[in-house]
Amino acid sequence: MMNIDYIKNELEFGKGWVVLNDIDLSCPEDSFIALMKEFGTIMNQNNNGDPISYIQDKGVSTEDVLNKGVVSGDNQGQTNNRPYLTNAELEFHTDLSDLALLLCVQPAREGGENHVVNSKEVYQYMAQYHPEDLAALSGTFKIMHQTPLKPDGQNHLIDIPIFTEKDGFFSSFLLRAFIFITYEKLGLELSEEKRNALNRINQVAEKLCTTLTLQKGDVLILNNHTTYHARNQFNDRDRLLLRGWVCADNNRPLHEDFKSLYGQLDAGSLRGGFVRV
């Protein structure tokens, strides 16, 4: 029997991720919804208000994700061109929620392994071995993204931080590819120093990460404020994971630089996901 309080504590104050086994797959969606409700409030996966995303190769390309999903800005372009609809390798990143849950319904025959790393450990490693890169990551970066400050389902140019601390609580947000495409397509200047520093995060994450091969009935739960996750490429369309986002009951306060991304910053506030339009 799961000790939900222990798991919540591990997610918020421990390493930031856990894997649970033997989730009932007789009706995967029902089991997944019930599990998510144990941890808080389920948030929308898209502007249609869907509580679950189906992570499966639908023939979407990485170029579609960046050009139609990020740069174009309209909500249907985003919904139809998400990274989880590709079979491509996904670099280390965070999702738009306190918690992300990934339930394996059908693993890939080959590939599709997940990688998880504690983002505070990445920060500490960079502080010790690459302080010049860490210094280059101070402040905020521009990104095309939806914002709860303008809840219209469109992408807007907003500012996001990489590493922050608020009242003793560490938080990080990372969408390196989205940052790069925003600066490129909008003709904004991103210094080589900052570009190299963003690349360094990925290099350190690869060095420190844990690799997981989820099997049927396994669910990976991540605290997006304290972990990054990535995925290997896979080569078959049978692979299926369910993804959900949860606003955690015991969520942490966030730095004011997260205002454009999350809107609500206080501990215990309702935040994350996309507005339904």
Across the strands, what pairs with 24?
Answer: none
Domain ranges of the chain: 4-262
Average pLDDT, the chain: 93
pLDDT for 62 equals 64
pLDDT for 64 equals 61
Note the pLDDT tens digit of each residue in 29-82. 999 999 999 999 999 999 999 999 999 976 776 666 566 556 565 555 555 556
CB 20 within 8 A of CB 6: no
Distance CA 52, CA 63 (A): 24
Task: Give the number of other Cβ atoms within 10 Å of residue 30's Cβ.
Answer: 10
pLDDT band at 87 (very low <50, low <70, confident <90, very high): confident
Distance CA 154, CA 76 (A): 9
Tell me what percent of the residues of the chain surpass a pLDDT of 70.
Answer: 90
Residue among 276, 245, 39 nearest 148 (CA): 276
Contacts of 16 (CB under 8 A, 6+ apart): 10, 118, 119, 222, 223, 225, 226, 227
pLDDT for 147 equals 97
Note the pLDDT tens digit of each residue in 104-153. 999 999 999 999 999 999 999 999 999 999 999 999 999 999 999 999 99
Task: Give the number of other Cβ atoms within 10 Å of residue 83's Cβ.
Answer: 21
In the chain, what is the straight-line distance between the N-terminal and C-terminal CA atoms, in Å?
39
CATH superfamily of this structure's domain 4-262? Clavaminate synthase-like (3.60.130.10)
